[in-house]
Amino acid sequence: MPKAKLVTIFGGSGFVGRYIARRMAQEGWRVRVAVRRPNDAIYVRPYGVVGQVEPVFCNIRDDNSVRDVLRGADAAVNCVGVLAETGKNTFEAVQQEGAARVARIAAELETPRLIQISAIGADADSDSAYARTKAAGEKAILDAYPQAIILRPSIIFGPEDEFFNRFGKMARMGPILPVVGASTRFQPVYVDDVAQAAVKGVLGQAAPGIYELGGPDVNTFRELMVYMLSVIRRRCLIVNVPFWAASIMGRGFDLLQKLSFDMIDPAITRDQVANLRRDNVVGDGVKTFADLGIEPTSLEAVVPEYLWRFRPSGQYSDIKQSAQNLPGN
């Protein structure tokens, strides 16, 4: 029997990476999940049969570490990124230099295919270091590995997301829900749709190039919060925090994070505020899901399935509502 092909997924235990790992296992590939803490990623093993999906140590900031996990791989997917800097994991070290390192070594080892998970809004001239380093990483990848596939998703939703889950928790804490950039537009995309796009790249079913991935609907930040509140059946006053005020708050949280030696997770950073000033939607004249033959999934089809826990009665919310409709109530 021929040996199954091998894919290395950098950050394969993360939000997007775990969905790619699961799909690649279903395709019959061996999956090498390259992460900094393999012992914390053992939950990926049941995605396949015994020994098919294995978490292994890798530090994307180190050449030898990256080379070790790429040896023998038939494809590589880089999902590593950071939303906020902590310690040595800066935007530049991870999203620019790390991406460049993966591409350079993949080219050196003649890895047949390389897929990079980037983000809509990647821009070398952006005020946001996050967006600038995403763009710098893309350029470095294409310089070293011109046939790479780069996927730029809008904000990603799914059961483990840090968007709807975060604001769902906030809605339980009080009657006011503050947001920064209430009029900023997003095109939320389902995490498994992004994974499906990456898998098509690994299987050679997608042409090289940059793809911008967005869901079927475009919504403002405020509209997304209104929808989220309707799903969790709570009432909150949505308050738009002006960008100038949010920048001051971000500066304060950045300082607090440094003084705590990264022990405190900032509610918002100055860089995130800068990112929120710009719409996060698919551009004109670019490759999209349509070029991959994928029909994107709507919010309504997925979000209620995991936000129910933020309802006042949690999993009993529907039962309680049904009981209220009984005769005599």
C-alpha to C-alpha distance for 183 and 208, rounded to whole angstroms: 34
C-alpha to C-alpha distance for 65 and 115, rounded to whole angstroms: 19
Among 2-16, 64-78, 133-147, the least confident range: 2-16
Q: How confident is the model at residue 1 (pLDDT cuts 50, 70, 90)?
A: very low
C-alpha to C-alpha distance for 11 and 29, rounded to whole angstroms: 17
Higher pLDDT, 175 or 323: 175
31-66 as b/e: b if 16+ CB within 10 A: bbbbbbebeebeebbebbeeebbbbeebebbeeebb
C-alpha to C-alpha distance for 306 and 231, rounded to whole angstroms: 10
pLDDT one-digit tens code per residue, 167-204? 999 999 999 999 999 999 999 999 999 999 999 999 99
- Beta strand 219-220 with 185-186: parallel, antiparallel or unpaired? antiparallel
> What is the DSSP code string of 74-85?
SEEEE----SS-
> What is the DSSP code string of 206-236?
S-SEEEEE--S--EEHHHHHHHHHHHHT---
pLDDT one-digit tens code per residue, 142-155? 999 999 999 999 99
State the pLDDT at residue 329: 59
Instruction: Give the count of alpha carbons within 13 A of 319, CB side only.
Output: 4
User: Residue 134 burial by CB count (10 A; 0-12/13-18/19+): exposed, middle or buried?
Assistant: buried
For residue 187, give the nearest of 54, 277, 286, 299 by alpha carbon. 299
pLDDT one-digit tens code per residue, 259-278? 887 888 888 999 999 999 99
R_g of the chain computed on alpha carbons: 21
Beta bridge partners of 209: 149
For residue 117, give the nearest of 213, 215, 6, 26 by alpha carbon. 213
pLDDT of 321 strictly over 70:
no
| Mean pLDDT over the full length of the chain | 94
